[in-house]
Structure 1
Amino acid sequence: MTLNIQTATVLGAGTMGAAIAGLLADAGIRVHLLDLASDPDPNINIEGVAPVQVGRSQLAWQGLTRMAAGRPPNLVHKESRSLIRPGNMDEDLEAALSESEWVLEAVIEDMETKRFLLARLADLNPTCRLITTNTSGLPIHMLAEGLPADFASRFMGTHFFNPPRYLPLLELIPHAGTDPALLADFGTFSSVRLGRETVVCRDTPYFIANRLFAFFHQVTINTALDMGLTVAEVDGLTGSLLGRPNAATFRLADIVGLDVMDLVCRNLDDLTPDDPCRSVRFHEGYRSMMTALLEAGHLGSKTGQGFYRTERDANGKRLFLSLDLAEAIEGRLSWVPAPRFSDEAIDTLHGMPLAERFPALLELDNRFGEFLWQIHGQIFSYLSQVAGDIANDCHAVDRVIRTGFAWQLGPFELWDTLGPESLDRMRQSDMHLGEWTAGMLASSDTSFHRSANGKRTSWNFRGGMTPVPAEVNYHAYADAMRTGQVIAENESACLRTGQDGILFLETRSVLNTIDEQVLSVCQEACDQLHGSAAGLIIANDDDIFSAGANLKLILALLEAADWQELERLAKLGQDTFMALRQAPKPVWAAARGMTAGGGVELLLSLDGVVAHPEACLGLTESAVGLVPGWGGCKELVRRSLAREFLDRGGDAHQVLKDRHAQVAMAKISDNAQDAQAMGYLPQQASLVTRRSQLLPWAVRELQRSLDLGYVPPAVHQNTYAAGRDGLANLEMEVFMYREAGYISEHDALIATKLAHVLCGGRLASPAWMDEQWFLDLEREANLSLAGEPLSRDRIVHMLTQKKPLRN
């Protein structure tokens, strides 16, 4: 990667421009956020900023303020806001350009407005390496017309998805004059530095994502209107049931905005007059319904009503209503109760994997099965006719839809589940097929995607299968974790062989909780590490790496008063995690999303962790009336009070106070960087922005540790015990909090037990102790707390109410 961007200028501080500025700032890039100049307002109120500082840049300041205050949050790190400098295009443009390696235009989605601003930039002739326009569908070649050759060679289109923090897709659209080397460099930069799932698109109207989404959306609604389905039925059928977000169809339209949806469809009609399925845009019932909604000002979530609305009954209870489609197609607007969708035949399919569930849904012999077939048959027909015009291969299309709209399987992957038999049904339904599709599926190439010997290929629309590069393979996790030979497997975990002797352990219990079955597979992995295995990586593909210990199992033991079995389970977890820690080969993890309690203790016992920047970690045992008991206390002390720290005069009491407070209050980090500050991730932990690359990165890190000559860590006389003086300080803190009424008696009891463990007990003087010393203290504290009825009440409340009880 030769493109090194340290400073960028974003032109346009609207919703999209400000959010992109936040994304860049989170990546450590300094940003000039500029918008139009306006007359100074002495009464402008922006927290922490004087009106004189705002000056004529109030549009940029307001855009930054809205972005920073957005919910869900746009910034991963709150302090990233300090990297964004608001300004205006009259006073600050030339200075900003002189400092920037990248200029990103993100003004209103209007051809003439963008062309005018690009011409102004060309006149200033900035020396920056890269110039982009952010657009959801305007043709890039039309924006590039008339630009000087040197400027045009540095110019291309981008399509960031909103909000960019949560939707990683980035479409890159070059025009004929774009420098191919720059395009490649920017693709690498946006993937590695910005964490984008980057797809290069052809310069066709609305590119890949919105071209296809507009059709998918409209054909779904048209079919629902023709078949007489309700809003609630359609959203029940097209959400999680199909591996898509719960917003499904109508709820998603409300979120996007009905005016925006209508504008996209109308613009597409103007820009693609030869679209083979153009007729779907002129569905009479759809047009009547949309006209009525738009004329009434019902634009969706931003106006409070669209396809959905909420009201309150006479008792103040909220009622959820949905648009009566039968009335709407006649131009009459009314809303009716929206019951939760349920169908007996469909409910039995929910537990099946999507690749099996999808064909079964389309085979259902009822109107819901027919509806799903009709919309997908039309989608597949459309893809067979236009995909080759907008993308290079099936993988690009599926990657766009998966990462841009959060589908579990892309449209060609879904089509693959039906096999070539789907062709006959499509023909029987009078659905047109593109020539390449019929020929390809009728030949020996009976699927759009293939996987063999760890390599993936995808159908290229020019003909033949094309290798999928490893860096853009969104199946990288499954290819590594689920293709090797099974060594050990049960309901909660699976251990497989992998590349170069590395083993892969995948957890798959509910919420990836750690139970005896997970521990048994971990023990088998340790045995393998004492043999020929080169190393071990622990991972899963969920947004929750691990919710911690299996509380249902712990509660069952408490209710049976089986203290002997409870101690055995505690000792088993400690021994297993210590076996991982002392294994003769390196053990790493790839973690994304939330990790709590015993899951954090597992990560703390390993040699290294590759984490997503948004990973949230916390030792949360106090929320269920316990203390960390599988080495969490021990590891927190060992890592925070290293010999080097104390030799430099580090304040052990202050560190223990901070660590005690965060564990006693069950604090969870906001992100991975915060977790590093809290001691849950090492400072040198690798933070990888692309979720699909976490596992490959972990493999590289493990191999690197082998190349450097791995030596397992020492576990004797390496953990600092502050003893009675440190314990007295923490006990005083607990007493003061209890006297002030900030914590309950049971909170105080837990905090006191925790303090005893963190300080290594009531030793007469500080000492360096074996790790096992702290593990014994952890186990003793938890067995004592487990016998408290109030601890049991906390566990019951967490399991039933899904939130902590402070009793």
Structure 2
Amino acid sequence: MNRAIKKVAVLGSGIMGSRIACHFANIGVEVLLLDIVPKDVNETEKAKGLTLDNPQVRNRIVNDAFQSTLKSKPAALYESAKASLVTLGNFDDDMSKIAEYDWVIEVVVENLDIKKKVFENVEKYRKPGTLITSNTSGIPIHLMTDGRSDDFKKHFCGTHFFNPPRYLRLLEIIPTKDTDPEIVDFLMKYGDLFLGKETVLCKDTPAFIANRIGIYAIMSGMHTIEKMGLTVGEVDRMTGPIIGRAKSATFRTMDVVGLDTTVNVANNLYAGLPDDESRDAFKLPGIVKSLYDKKWWGDKTQQGYFKKTKDENGKTVILELDFKTMEYGERTKAHYESLSKVKDIENVKERLPILVNAEDKAGEFYRATFYDMFKYCSLRIPEIADELYRIDQAVAAGFAWEIGPFETWDVLGVKQTAEKMEAAGMAPADWVNEMIDAGHESFYKFENGKKLYYDIPSKSYKVIPGTEGFIILEAFKENKVVYQNPGATVYDVGDGILNVEFHTKMNAIGGEVIEGINTAISMAEENFRGVVIGNEGQNFSAGANLAMLFMFASDQEYDEIDLMIRQFQLTMTRARFSDIPVVSAPSGMALGGGCELSLHCDAIQAHAESYIGLVEVGVGLIPGGGGTKEMTLRSSDEYGEGDPELNTLQKYFMNIATAKVATSAAEAAEMNILRPSDRVTLNRSRLLADAKARAIEMAEAGYTRPTERTDIKVHGRSSMAMFEAGITGMLYGNYISEHDAKIAKKLAYVMSGGDLTSSTLVSEQYLLDLEREAFLSLTAEPKTLERIHSILFKGKPLRN
């Protein structure tokens, strides 16, 4: 049966319900968000003379919850206008409306009796064939359908989103024995293609997959932390980005989520897993129980493992808990040799073996926690999943890990790690040793551009289902690399398309990356038919190589800087004026030079979570790689008959002058960074494949090399006068510094086309020359060097 989801009803408007509603609105689905009617009017409503019959009162709970979500940071919506797709109501007055909706998602409190009552009410109004799912995080799915009709049971399933649903990629699909397999297939594909999720099929076991493994890792780790006497600061340094985990690491994550939530899940797992061989790990360690009893649950109680306070100068400071005294003090840091050794290693897979094998306290901690996690995961097959890749997918997507447990084990070497685990009294499941004895020494391998996993029942390797259409660059490394230098790799990804991957720090664009881009375009013009520029890292590119620029500027090597800018500009225009289509595939940060590169490609295939912008003013510069030129050109193209053209130009000027960054691909489209012809991919795993398909489409449509534009309308002195008036006002109002004003005037000069007496049509090269000269002049400014120095050596922007 063909099934389309145009309208979704979300029952329950709490933190998860409202955010799930927003994520459906993000993809253009109409949403009905319902919650209970208040029992009484509050004091404010009484003062207004309102009663419980008033619609405003009856919808107070859902209204307040949704407004709170709209104000939350990070934002739940791609763009604020999407809020209009969400209609609010209550269970008593509006439940009958679900008859018009294609999917009903229950997100009420974690109480089985309450959920059953909601489902009883749903069945009164739900039309046959409508999807009905629960977002429970722990209640057994099969218990919820008692007393429900066969049609209800057939279309019922668990769909467990992770919070916040816009940002965490996991969607666990948990069917019951009565769920129609067609419904399961639909939900798996819909979550992948339309919601952008890593959809993982789970068994109906306690906490499903991600929370079962993730909470175990946290609680087991807490026992190790207590045993080793580690501090909050030491642990968060060791368990964050350095091992490919979220910035919030261990304790900050627990403060954000709420210690009570973590404890409740752990307690439920302990109670619900009498046969789990590692059940005692779910018992609360002393340091956790003490905080829980004091109700120091994190952000929701204003203190947990961390506490915000003010110093004597009124400045906000963050203190951390001392486990020995149970008092708050200055934050501690982990000073271990192994952590210092890996600070300049960008690839987490290269860092992990150094860290885990280190002979210091950090290495001891990693071995204890990693080996225990590996053992636990191996023993959960086939209990919670029949295939090992499902555990990796769920944990990585649900807890924002770069690589999952079995992938991590692979990086460390399966055989040698298993031997060390056994020696440490943490022997893995028998199937691991059987795999090794059979000569298979990795859980994953790559063949013919595909990623394969070890299938335990068949004792062979199989392609991970659902990934057949993905491009996984690691799978091309063995025999599909056609060019490589220390900063970039060019792969032949098939069908006549090359892919350029950066692997500098933060994927910064320097000489090696420039060389890689130019080489790929030259190779494609000769023997291929298109180029994709993209990677599988967290960020597309944080911009140009500031370190090299700072070195030249400090030594006053302005000829070198001029050459550097010219090469950058030539490469950007090469991407635009080549004989083959060039497609950019940004995801994460695409800032400064990374944004400029995307602006000059023939097409952009952006991930929905792309943060794109021209941010050069933050380091005392203006966009010098064609970004200023391109925004001036796009402003000119927006002018229409009778339009106030200077207002349009000012909008683009302000985006650059304020270093505005789009917080989603949708917002990038609003800023005209993405053009109407550019496209968006919801699922990060599909981004490179979609970009490749776009390049093939353009090539097969008869791609024609563009020609340089010579019709860009600039306004000379008239726009300069407008800009300078605004800059002066901002300066006198103390909104900007004198150096900000100087940068803004340089930017205004370029976007006005220079000192022209009237509006004139100019070429792209004309604007590029103005842009380069302005950029070069700013590199001679001491305050610009101070800003660059602050970013490079302190990691934070400087306002001077």
TM-score (norm. length: structure 1): 0.90
> 1:547–1:178: structure 2 CA closer, same or farther, 3 Å change rule?
same
State the Cα deviation string for residues 140-193 of structure 1 (Å, max 9, x = none).
Answer: 111122211111111100111111122111101011111111221122112222
State the Cα deviation string for residues 555-576 of structure 1 (Å, max 9, x = none).
Answer: 3333333332222222222222
| Residue 394 (structure 1) aligned to one of 383, 388, 391 | 388
d(CA) in 2 for partners of 1:394, 1:440? 13
Matches within 5 A, 1:542-553: 542-553=537-548
> 1:425–1:783: structure 2 CA closer, same or farther, 3 Å change rule?
closer
Aligned to 2:56: 54
Bigger drift between 51-60 and 393-402 goes to 51-60
| Residue 667 (structure 1) aligned to one of 651, 654, 660 | 660
Aligned to 2:335: 342
Identity %: 34
> 1:316–1:438: structure 2 CA closer, same or farther, 3 Å change rule?
same
| Residue 301 (structure 2) aligned to one of 286, 303, 323 | 303
Cα deviation, residue 713, structure 1 = 0.8
Cα deviation, residue 389, structure 1 = 1.5
d(CA) in 2 for partners of 1:375, 1:746? 50
Q: Secondary structure at the match of 1:531?
A: helix
Q: Secondary structure at the match of 1:595?
A: strand
Matches within 5 A, 1:616-635: 616-635=611-630
1:532 is the counterpart of 2:531: no
Contact kept? 1:504, 1:539, Cα under 8 Å = yes
Aligned to 1:138: 139
Q: Secondary structure at the match of 1:446?
A: coil
Q: Secondary structure at the match of 1:90?
A: helix
1:576 is the counterpart of 2:578: no
1:599 is the counterpart of 2:597: no
> 1:661–1:230: structure 2 CA closer, same or farther, 3 Å change rule?
closer
Matches within 5 A, 1:492-507: 492-507=487-502
d(CA) in 2 for partners of 1:760, 1:314? 51
Aligned to 1:5: 5
Matches within 5 A, 1:244-393: 244-282=245-283, 286=284, 289-309=287-307, 318=317, 320-324=319-323, 339-352=332-345, 353-365=347-359, 368-393=362-387
Cα deviation, residue 378, structure 1 = 2.6
Contact kept? 1:488, 1:494, Cα under 8 Å = yes
Cα deviation, residue 641, structure 1 = 2.4
Cα deviation, residue 584, structure 1 = 0.2
Contact kept? 1:324, 1:335, Cα under 8 Å = no
Cα deviation, residue 806, structure 1 = 5.1
d(CA) in 2 for partners of 1:622, 1:670? 18
Bigger drift between 703-712 and 216-225 goes to 216-225
Cα deviation, residue 12, structure 1 = 0.9
> 1:565–1:447: structure 2 CA closer, same or farther, 3 Å change rule?
closer
Q: Secondary structure at the match of 1:506?
A: strand
Aligned to 1:330: none
Cα deviation, residue 493, structure 1 = 2.5
d(CA) in 1 for partners of 2:118, 2:671? 46
d(CA) in 2 for partners of 1:231, 1:585? 53
Cα deviation, residue 86, structure 1 = 1.8
> 1:732–1:782: structure 2 CA closer, same or farther, 3 Å change rule?
same
Bigger drift between 310-319 and 163-172 goes to 310-319
d(CA) in 1 for partners of 2:235, 2:786? 41
Q: Secondary structure at the match of 2:396?
A: helix
Q: Secondary structure at the match of 1:594?
A: strand
d(CA) in 2 for partners of 1:776, 1:314? 51
Contact kept? 2:612, 2:668, Cα under 8 Å = yes
Q: Secondary structure at the match of 2:295?
A: coil
Aligned to 1:30: 30
Cα deviation, residue 243, structure 1 = 2.3
d(CA) in 1 for partners of 2:663, 2:45? 28
Contact kept? 1:484, 1:496, Cα under 8 Å = no
Aligned to 1:709: 702
In the alignment, structure 2 segments of 5+ residues that lack a partner are: none
d(CA) in 1 for partners of 2:226, 2:475? 44
Cα deviation, residue 22, structure 1 = 1.5
> Could you tell me which amino acid in structure 1 is paired with residue 225 of structure 2?
A
Cα deviation, residue 132, structure 1 = 0.5
Bigger drift between 146-155 and 747-756 goes to 747-756
> 1:782–1:119: structure 2 CA closer, same or farther, 3 Å change rule?
same
Q: Secondary structure at the match of 2:89?
A: strand
Q: How many residues align?
A: 792
Cα deviation, residue 211, structure 1 = 1.4
> 1:725–1:128: structure 2 CA closer, same or farther, 3 Å change rule?
farther
> Could you tell me which amino acid in structure 2 is paired with residue 720 of structure 1?
K
State the Cα deviation string for residues 509-566 of structure 1 (Å, max 9, x = none).
Answer: 3332322332222222232233112211112334442333333333333333333222
Contact kept? 1:197, 1:472, Cα under 8 Å = no
> Could you tell me which amino acid in structure 2 is paired with residue 549 of structure 1?
A
Matches within 5 A, 1:106-125: 106-125=107-126
> 1:146–1:253: structure 2 CA closer, same or farther, 3 Å change rule?
same
d(CA) in 2 for partners of 1:743, 1:372? 47
Contact kept? 1:538, 1:588, Cα under 8 Å = yes
> Could you tell me which amino acid in structure 2 is paired with residue 322 of structure 1?
L
State the Cα deviation string for residues 422-442 of structure 1 (Å, max 9, x = none).
Answer: 333333334354332221222
Contact kept? 1:16, 1:162, Cα under 8 Å = yes
Aligned to 2:693: 700
Cα deviation, residue 760, structure 1 = 3.1
> Could you tell me which amino acid in structure 1 is paired with residue 374 of structure 2?
F
Contact kept? 1:484, 1:498, Cα under 8 Å = no
State the Cα deviation string for residues 77-107 of structure 1 (Å, max 9, x = none).
Answer: 2222222222110111112x02211111001
Contact kept? 2:604, 2:674, Cα under 8 Å = yes
Contact kept? 2:449, 2:472, Cα under 8 Å = no
TM-score (norm. length: structure 2): 0.91
Matches within 5 A, 1:630-649: 630-642=625-637
Q: Secondary structure at the match of 2:706?
A: coil
Contact kept? 2:99, 2:126, Cα under 8 Å = no
In the alignment, structure 1 segments of 5+ residues that lack a partner are: 328-332
State the Cα deviation string for residues 398-448 of structure 1 (Å, max 9, x = none).
Answer: 011111111222111122223223333333334354332221222122221
Cα deviation, residue 800, structure 1 = 4.8
State the Cα deviation string for residues 590-647 of structure 1 (Å, max 9, x = none).
Answer: 10122222222211111011112232222233333433322223222333323xx557
> 1:362–1:508: structure 2 CA closer, same or farther, 3 Å change rule?
closer
Instruction: Report the aligned-residue RMSD.
Output: 3.1
> Could you tell me which amino acid in structure 2 is paired with residue 635 of structure 1?
E
